[in-house]
Structure 1
Amino acid sequence: MDFAFDARTEELRARLLAFMDEHVYPAEPVEQAQRAELASPWDTPAVVAELQAEARRRGLWNLFLPDSEHGAGLTNLQYAPLAEITGRSPHLAPIALNCAAPDTGNMEVLAQFGTEEQKKQWLEPLLAADIRSAFAMTEPDVASSDATNIETRIERRGDEYVVNGRKWYISGAMNPDCRIFIVMGKTDPEGADIRRQQSMLLVPRDTPGVEVRRAMRVYGFEDHSHGGHAEVVFQDARVPVSNLVGEEGGGFAIAQARLGPGRIHHCMRLIGMAERAIELMCRRALSRTAFGKPIAQQGVVQNWIADARVAVEQMRLLVLKTAWLMDTVGNRGAHTEIQAIKIATPRAVVDILDKAVQVHGAGGVSQDFPLAELWAGARTLQLADGPDEVHQRSLARRELKQYR
């Protein structure tokens, strides 16, 4: 058993850590100042393009794609520690490297299931960060944690598909650079196999009948890093049949393929967020005095710091094991571990961030520190890609099955 990263991972880690210190952290206040001056809150600040140019120059671009033709050709295990580093500045670092959701998952879908025409039209500009994209799956009127509940209809009429439905919390849809939606809907709602009823379709944003109705907030925050979250209505939106991704009835399987690597990315970025929170918590505890001594000398604060370190080390090992399993036995073989990290990591990181907020006092909930917004993002991941309870139910059934 070897816990060391390989030579390529170590080299990329060193390069990325230097990029973070020299460019990303200094750009955080610049990004905030520039955003305040934008004509629209969803426009991209100029500093992002500057960071992207520097990331490309340093060879830190599209690291998430295991496909060496389009990406860096890294395994899940190689990319995971890099995703952790970007999680320390989750609103800037991923987009600087063109490794931000939802574009990452959409690029993976196009690279794996797209036709050559679809790749040329949509994947290539996404790889170059010339456009952005959105993934339209979640719906407000049904429990979307069960994808078989989705009500959006995709009906074939001659040489076209017609889309009707209402989606919300569609990440990326508010950004004016968002040009394409990957929409999940039902092409065969009465089909006998409930996991073959769904299909995925490429719907350009400027298609007549597509309405980006409003921005959705997350605990009061407008998530600019993902290009916002939107409510989107499709009303008789028509696209050519060539816009089908994969095959009719393949939408559920494509969604599962998309979500596996995404959970590694999410969880490792969460660990990076937790590391940032521990650093802020320690600095604050050492610099603040209450009742005649630094609060770092308070036993309860020391307990919080120690527990945070233990939790981070546990989570990192579990996520890295999961990444290794996905590389060696595939997503199906790593199913238990994928669900385990999805349950455990957001929960642990929310608790660490909560304690960091407490150490900061009123400052912890203010805009002067990143903790409140980090907390909102981490807490949301207890819902995204399926709520904890869905994964707990599935995981428990698998455990029980061994003893029946």
Structure 2
Amino acid sequence: MDFAPDPRTEELRVELLAFMDEHVYPAEAQFERRDPAQPFSWERPKIMAELQMEARRRGLWNLFLPDHERGAGLTNLQYAPLAEITGRSPHVAPEALNCAAPDTGNMELLHLFATPEQREHWLEPLLDARIRSAFCMTEPDVASSDASNIALAMAPSPGGGFRLSGRKWWSTGALSIDCALLVVMGRSHPDAPPHKRHTITLVPRNAPGVVIRRGLSAFGYWDETHGGHAEIEFHDVEVGPEAVLGVPGHGFALAQARLGPGRIHHCMRLIGMAERAFDLMCERVTRRVAFGRPLAEQGVVHEVIADSRVKIEQLRLQVLRCAWLIDTLGAKAAASEISAIKISAPETAQWVIDKAIHMHGAGGMTADSPLAMLWAQARGLRFADGPEEVHRMSLARRELRRFQVH
């Protein structure tokens, strides 16, 4: 295993670091909502269009997609250090490169399973950042960590389509003014085995019967970067057979594909979030004095700095190895490693960010630094790819299987 960046990755890495220094970090202030009384708007600051134009010019566009024609054609191992860099500014950089969730996951799904017509209608505009999308899976009335529970009704309708009735929430992306597509998972075959009951459909956001009921904040943040999180009601929403993604009844498998190898992108970005917090923490302790000595000379601070560095390096190697395994053996063979990093990445990042907040004192809890935002995002990601308890259960079962007597 050689995790050193190859020449192409190194070239992109140098270009991306320059883009971050010259354009992304200077623009961050324009994406902050410091005044709670300020009228709320889901329209992104105009500078985002300028950032995206510059990213295209530098060849930093759609880096997440392994397809050479539509994306950058990078492997997971090649993409990992680049995604880590964007994680240092998670509320600006991924979107600037058209590499932000939930659009990346939806584009991956469309790339893998869409018909040529669906690709032309939905995938191409998404790849060009002319529209955004939402993924509608989680529901308020069931434990959505078990995807077989998803209950939104998809009743057969004349013509071979479905009539959708039910309620979703935490539908990330649906509040963006640019959101045009809802990727909706529902129960279409209620009498089938649990993993054959669901279908995924492509629903226009402005379809009759789609009602955006409200936005949901996460730890006080509205998450404009990802297009917000919406509660949505579907009142007899009619879709034709052309709206079905893949094969009817195979929605569970599609959802797992969406949450599989491509979703380790969150883990890659979490390393960058931890590194940003680490840098801010080190800068802080070298400037502050307590009890007659700089914080950087306090033994307890040394312990935190050392432990943070160890944890970040361990996580980076774990994520890179997982990416390498997916590239060489496939996602199925790397299932244990995928579960493992989905446990360790958000926990590690949250631990480091929390220590950085602590070293900043009361100021660490304010919007004067990105730390509170980073902490909220890291904590939220302990749900976004499935709760850590589910990943622990899956990982433990795979490990115990090796010791079972046959």
Please, what TM-score do these two structures have when normalized by structure 1? 0.97
1: CA distance, partners of 2:183 / 2:35 = 28
Task: Give, as a single letter, the amino acid of the residue that structure 1 aligns with 2:178.
Answer: D
Cα deviations by residue, 1:243-288 (Å, 9 ceiling, x for unpaired): 0000011111111111123432000100000000000000000011
Cα gap change, 1:219/1:182 in structure 2, threshold over 3 Å: closer, same or farther?
same
Shift of 1:36: 8.8
**Structure 2 unaligned blocks of 5 or more:** none
Shift of 1:334: 0.4
1: CA distance, partners of 2:36 / 2:121 = 33
Shift of 1:155: 1.6
- Per the alignment, residue 319 of structure 1 pairs with 319
**Structure 1 unaligned blocks of 5 or more:** none
2: CA distance, partners of 1:145 / 1:154 = 20
- Per the alignment, residue 144 of structure 1 pairs with 144
CA contact under 8 A between 2:105 and 2:263: conserved in structure 1? no
CA contact under 8 A between 2:139 and 2:150: conserved in structure 1? yes
Cα deviations by residue, 1:150-193 (Å, 9 ceiling, x for unpaired): 111112211231111111111111111000000001110111x2
1: CA distance, partners of 2:137 / 2:30 = 34
Task: Give, as a single letter, the amino acid of the residue that structure 1 aligns with 2:53.
Answer: A
Shift of 1:393: 0.8
- Per the alignment, residue 133 of structure 1 pairs with 133
- Per the alignment, residue 158 of structure 1 pairs with 158
Cα deviations by residue, 1:104-162 (Å, 9 ceiling, x for unpaired): 00001111100111011111110110000000001111000000001111122112311
2: CA distance, partners of 1:185 / 1:332 = 25
Shift of 1:41: 2.2
Alignment partner of 1:188 is 2:189: yes
- Per the alignment, residue 378 of structure 2 pairs with 378
After TM superposition, list the pairs within 5 Å mapping 1:386-397 onto structure 2.
Answer: 386-397=386-397
Task: Give, as a single letter, the amino acid of the residue that structure 1 aligns with 2:365.
Answer: V
2: CA distance, partners of 1:402 / 1:88 = 39
CA contact under 8 A between 1:133 and 1:181: conserved in structure 2? yes
Shift of 1:35: 9.9
CA contact under 8 A between 1:145 and 1:385: conserved in structure 2? no
2: CA distance, partners of 1:283 / 1:251 = 48
Please, what TM-score do these two structures have when normalized by structure 2? 0.97
2: CA distance, partners of 1:14 / 1:260 = 28
- Per the alignment, residue 239 of structure 1 pairs with 239
After TM superposition, list the pairs within 5 Å mapping 1:285-296 onto structure 2.
Answer: 285-296=285-296
2: CA distance, partners of 1:39 / 1:246 = 41
SS at match of 1:381: helix
Q: Which moved more, 1:335-344 or 1:159-168?
A: 159-168
CA contact under 8 A between 1:31 and 1:47: conserved in structure 2? no
Shift of 1:33: 7.2
| Structure 1 vs Structure 2 CA RMSD | 1.5
SS at match of 1:350: helix
> Once superposed, which parts of structure 1, at least 4 consecutive aligned residues long, lie more than 6 Å away?
33-39
2: CA distance, partners of 1:200 / 1:234 = 14
Task: Give, as a single letter, the amino acid of the residue that structure 2 aligns with 1:268.
Answer: M
1: CA distance, partners of 2:76 / 2:258 = 13
CA contact under 8 A between 1:65 and 1:73: conserved in structure 2? yes
- Per the alignment, residue 4 of structure 1 pairs with 4
